[in-house]
Amino acid sequence: MSTVSEEQKLDAVHRLGVMSERHPELKRRVADARLELAAVILAMDAVDKRIQAGEKIHSLQEQAAVEQAKNAHAQALADLLRGEH
C-alpha cells in the first residue's frame, strides 16, 4: 500500500513534465537507465527459465545487475526531478 497521496502523485507528474522540458539530457538519462533496467530484468528472467528447466546454474549475477540498474534508474530519476547534472 502506497503512502503517497494523489496530490503528491499529481505534483510528481507536473514536476516530471516541467523538468523534462528544461533538462532534455537528464530526461534522456532516465530513459537510458530504464532501458538498461528492462534489459537486465529480461536477462534475469531468461536465466530463471533455464534454472526452472533443470540447469544447475544460479542467477546471482543477474540479480545483482538488476539491483544496480534499479539504483541507477532511481538516481537518474532523482537527478531529473532536482535538475541536477
Summarised one tens digit per residue, pLDDT across range 36-52 is 999 999 999 999 999 99
45 vs 39: CA distance, rounded Å? 10
pTM, two decimals, is: 0.89
Closest by Cα among 32, 21, 29 to 79: 29
* Within a domain: 1: no
Is residue 56 very low, low, confident or very high in pLDDT (cuts 50, 70, 90)?
Answer: very high
- pLDDT tens for residues 9-37? 999 999 999 999 999 999 999 999 999 99
* Within a domain: 42: yes
Domain that holds residue 55: 6-82
Q: Provide the b/e sequence for 41-80 (b: ≥16 CB within 10 Å).
A: eeebeebeeeeeeeeeeebeebeebbeebeebbeebbebb
Residue 1: per-residue pLDDT: 73
In eight-state DSSP terms, residue 53 is: T
* Within a domain: 54: yes
- pLDDT tens for residues 65-76? 999 999 999 999
* Within a domain: 12: yes
DSSP string, 30-43: HHHHHHHHHHHHHH
Q: Count of domains in the chain?
A: 1
